Amino acid sequence: MSHEVVAALELSLLVAAVSIVVVGPPAIALGYVMARHAFPGRDLLAALLGLPLVLPPTAIGLLLLRLFGARGPLGRDTLGIDLGFLLTWRGAVAACSVMALPLVVRTARVTFEGVDPRLEAMARTLGHGAVATFGLFTLPLAARGLVAAAILGFTRAVGEFGATVMVAGNIPGRTRTLASGIYAAQQAGREREATVLVVVAIAVGLVAIFASERLTRSAPRRGRG
């Protein structure tokens, strides 16, 4: 593999991994709250969280540009410091995180809905407070589903193109990922490089799918307790 291909693969994996670390905790919190509590505005929140799934990724990219642009709410002029999101790998992480969040929240929510709330009530009667119950019982009971959610978010981040290109650009060796690399190679007529990148992307995807399948299929039987 050429140096460019390796660099693109490394960056894609790094960006996806960091995105999942960033997205994980809020997605778990949101998924749990939405699974367990009916509150005013829950449906509206679910709709807003679902937007990145239905909007063109370039629209999300543009919104992020406005957010991080010099005069945006999180821009250099407003905050007084440069957060360094534009045209950097951090920008790619921001774009991928926003794009992956809805998928991870959804999967986490469904997973938590599959955890019998009576088991949580049982843990409470056994002397565990609400926080300990979540940490010692809810999370372990949901573990497989949450890992599957993380894998799903990871693959979404690896494949992200539109929003990432808007925010981070497509700079070889700096912000060029597998996805943007395929586009760039094809545009420049480097067919061989484009093919290699596609093969690498297929390999990454297959590994993720197998891992996810394994986890969901051997999930423990629930409900009978």
By the criterion CB under 8 A, which residues form the site for other proteins?
116, 118-119, 121-130, 132-133, 136-137, 140-141, 143, 220-222, 224-225
Is the CB of 40 or the CB of 225 nearer to other proteins? 225
Q: Which two tokens stand for residue 29?
A: 């919190």
As a whole number of angstroms, the distance between CA 54 and CA 177 comes to: 23
Is the CB of 80 or the CB of 220 nearer to other proteins? 220
Q: Which two tokens stand for residue 222?
A: 């629930």
Is the CB of 66 or the CB of 118 nearer to other proteins? 118
Which segments of 83-138 does DSSP mark as H helices, in order? Answer: 89-113, 117-125, 130-133
Least distance between other proteins and beta carbon 224 (Å): 6
Least distance between other proteins and beta carbon 81 (Å): 44
What's CA 20's distance to the chain center, in Å? 5
Least distance between other proteins and beta carbon 165 (Å): 42
What does each C-alpha distance from 170 to 66, 69, 78, 82, 160 come to in angstroms?
18, 17, 26, 20, 13
Least distance between other proteins and beta carbon 158 (Å): 30
Is the CB of 18 or the CB of 122 nearer to other proteins? 122
